Amino acid sequence: MDNINKIMLQSAEAFKQYRKVSGKQKAVFLRAIAEEIEALGMELIHTTMEETNLPEARLLGERGRTIFQLKMFADLLEEGSWVEARIDTAQPDRKPLPKVDIRKMSVPLGVVVVFGASNFPYAYSTAGGDTASALAAGCPVVLKGHPAHARTSAMIADAVLRAVERTGMPEGTFAHVDGGNGFEIGKALVMHPVTKAVGFTGSFAGGKALFDMANQRPEPIPVFSEMGSINPVVLMPEKLSTSSESIAKEYAGSITLGVGQFCTNPGLILGVDNADLQNFIKVLAGEIEKISPSKMLNAGIYQNYEGKKTVALAQDDVTTEAESLVEKTDTIQGLATVASVDADVFLANPTLHQEVFGPFSLVVKCKDLTQLATVIQHLEGQLTATFMATETELQANDDIVEALRNISGRLIFNGVPTGVEVCYAMHHGGPFPSCTDARFTSVGPDAIKRFVRPASYQSFPDSLLPAELQDANPLNIWRMFDNEWKK
């Protein structure tokens, strides 16, 4: 582990300089990373296709999203108001006590360790959202590559390092650690004393292990783990009575999108057991049977899918409604599957509440809306929750809407959870166990807030303050100045 120690110490030294780099300079750096990734061209795409079994079109889209994320944070840095400057000027004549000058803004935490994700080799890995937001915040990044796409990770890491050199960033601003010998390296990175935060996307077991490690340190640190979700979908009776067929077809596509390997895959569907729900199940089953199987990301994920699916289907009173009937042409192709169970059984069996990562969904048949609400109350934290309903049903069932909101980070009305827009209003996170901290998003500009902390300056000479807090506002950013928003 001597090499890990060397990398971490170099990153800590880089932080001393990188934290002082202006927003505009960091923006140039992030744009340079985007340009270097784009310059890798189709060689990168073809390498990733070989390593992950993902199709070209999907990877082209994901690369575009990754480049967009980097440029989005560059725009954020150039504008500058993200630091949330607050200025309360002195009132020396205030009675009974004078008021001192106090100014506050967000400052970077320090070295951030990021773990690459298996299911998004670009957008959630080497130069993905965690890395981009940490670098934007002013934090050096030590990236542990995912072994499932080691060559892809190395190629992108080289692109980032070229951008470091090209823009004159401090050596150690970014470092790449090979993904082999995963547990020991991961533990060494998290436990190293210079590490100040961790970003992770993956399994509950992996994310919780990192969280526990971080809290066992002499100095506990934040771990921002996204750990999976079954993303419940509620089918309300009135909506289903007029749209059961179209909803079923829409959800067949959502369940099997990307071979079900999205963290927002709809793994649980709740409805009141009646003729319309039975028709929904029948149409959904018919669509699932026609889905052609595709290779999953790797053999490990395929085996995990098959294992958890087998366990779920073997539970008492669980009915397999459909499995893809299209013949497999490869051993690691995941067969899309839909099952159903009565709500009484679901409530009594915690095994059925667990995520099956892949093209699988379980329909829970409830006696009435009261039992449906009870099922929601027994669900754990989720990334998303969806309400398929008429506007009248939405208004009349505020208790169900609130129950869904209380367990999810993103509440969806008449749509599918798959597809995460990168924008200011997006919240991609949720209550435990979907994430370790529901207050923060891993997608969109607000992701930067994970890697900063507030710091106040009291009675400082104006010339020694950060530019963001100086009286003249040289950066021309929005600030709260004596309780008023001003430029």
pLDDT digit string, tens, across residues 442-457: 999 999 999 999 999 9
Rounded to whole angstroms, how far apart are CA atoms 385 and 381? 10
| The two three-digit tokens of residue 165, written as one number | 């050199």
How would residue 2 be classed by pLDDT, with cut points 50, 70 and 90?
confident
Residue 224 has a CB neighbour count (10 Å cut-off) of 28
Q: What is the pLDDT of residues 306-318, one digit of tens each?
A: 999 999 999 999 9
Q: Is 138 exposed, middle or buried (0-12, 13-18, 19+ CB in 10 A)?
A: buried
Catalytic, out of 139, 263, 366, 435: 263
**Quick check: 176 pLDDT over 70?**
yes
How would residue 181 be classed by pLDDT, with cut points 50, 70 and 90?
low
**Quick check: 190 pLDDT over 80?**
yes
Rounded to whole angstroms, how far apart are CA atoms 77 and 26? 7
Rounded to whole angstroms, how far apart are CA atoms 446 and 451? 10
Segment 342-357 shows an average pLDDT of 97
306 catalytically annotated: no
**Quick check: 281 pLDDT over 90?**
yes
**Quick check: 182 pLDDT over 80?**
no
pLDDT at 183: 86
Q: What is the pLDDT of residues 145-169, one digit of tens each?
A: 999 999 999 999 999 999 999 999 9
Segment 13-18 shows an average pLDDT of 98
pTM of the model: 0.96
| The two three-digit tokens of residue 307, written as one number | 């294992």
Segment 385-404 shows an average pLDDT of 96
366 catalytically annotated: no
SS3 458: strand
Rounded to whole angstroms, how far apart are CA atoms 381 and 360? 19
**Quick check: 179 pLDDT over 80?**
no
Catalytic, out of 36, 51, 226, 287: 226
**Quick check: 225 pLDDT over 80?**
yes
* Helix boundaries (H) for 343-477: 343-348, 369-377, 391-396, 398-407
pLDDT at 416: 97
Q: Is 274 exposed, middle or buried (0-12, 13-18, 19+ CB in 10 A)?
A: middle
Picking from 337, 331, 330, the residue whose alpha carbon sits closest to that of residue 288 is 337
pLDDT at 1: 73
Measured in whole angstroms, the distance separating CA 301 from the mean position of its chain's CA atoms is: 19
CA distances from 127 to 13, 151, 179, 412 (A): 21, 14, 15, 29
pLDDT at 266: 98
Residue 421 gets which letter from DSSP? -
How would residue 483 be classed by pLDDT, with cut points 50, 70 and 90?
very high
pLDDT at 154: 97
pLDDT at 232: 98
Cβ atoms 465, 236 nearer than 8 A? no
How would residue 211 be classed by pLDDT, with cut points 50, 70 and 90?
very high
Q: What is the pLDDT of residues 42-67, one digit of tens each?
A: 999 999 999 999 999 999 999 999 99
Segment 205-223 shows an average pLDDT of 97
Long-range contacts for 399-404 (Cβ within 8 Å, ≥24 apart)? 399/373, 400/234, 400/369, 400/372, 400/373, 400/376, 403/373, 403/376, 403/377, 404/232, 404/234, 404/376
Q: What is the residue-averaged pLDDT of the chain?
A: 97
| All residues at 6 or more sequence positions from 332 whose CB lies less than 8 Å from its CB, including other chains | 53, 295, 296, 298, 299, 302
